[in-house]
Amino acid sequence: MKGWIKWVTATLALSAVTHLGVVVAIPRVLMLVVKHKAGGGLNRIHHGEPVTAASREVVRPSPDLLYSLCPYDLSRGPLRITASVPDTYFSISAFAANTDNFFVVNDTQVKGKKIDLVLVARGSGYKPTAAERVVTSPTKAGLVLFRTLIRDGRQLAGLRQIQRRADCRPLGEHRR
């Protein structure tokens, strides 16, 4: 092979690897950025303020929604997620480390006014009790997002009270 062909081939091969690496890495890196911005650590819920132009944690936020988020790491065991369901659209969604949305439940899909879930990592071997609703995360790390729709600004104070009842913490802490 002529010298210059070898160099051009090496350049193209390396650029292809870089290209794929960047495309695959972007969602994971942005997930880490959001976790970092949330502050306060993993396996804890963070209740967001009503969205304004100053809200810069997540791109394209909806001003119609109240957000709470829980960045998680299931390395040390399952996580228990609980919430009260308001009289408006409400959902809990879970995102894997690569940002895939692997689970969502909304207010119309639950019986009663409470949601109680146990989040476990795939392959964890966790044995749930009969009463537990288990959600399996394809990755140990990820993020749970709570969305509450503000149909009318006059409902905001009441919805924020309900928003703050949502929780997410290691299952062990509940059993102590």
Partner 1 sequence: MKLLLKTLAVLVIALALGVGSAYLGIRWVGLGAAVRNGAWGTSLATGSSEAGIYTRAAVAVGGLFALSKKETLYYTAFVDDRGEKLSASCDYVLEGREIDARWWSFTVYGEDHFLVPNREQRYSYNMLSLQRRPDRSYQVHLSSRQHTGNWLPTGTSGEFSVTLRLYNPARSVHEHPDTVALPSITKVACR
Interaction site with partner 1 (CB under 8 A): 7, 10-24, 26-27, 30-31, 34, 51-56, 58-64, 89, 91, 93, 95, 98-102, 104, 106, 108, 138, 143, 145, 149, 151-152
Residue of 69, 47, 86, 64 whose CA lies nearest to 164: 47
Cα-to-chain-centroid distance, residue 116: 16
Shortest CB 173 distance to partner 1, Å: 25
Shortest CB 53 distance to partner 1, Å: 4
Alpha-carbon distance of 64 to 148, in angstroms, equals 8
Report the 10 Å Cβ neighbour count for 113. Answer: 12
- Pick the closer one to partner 1 by CB: 104 or 164: 104
Shortest CB 128 distance to partner 1, Å: 23
Residue of 44, 64, 32 whose CA lies nearest to 147: 64
- Pick the closer one to partner 1 by CB: 60 or 111: 60
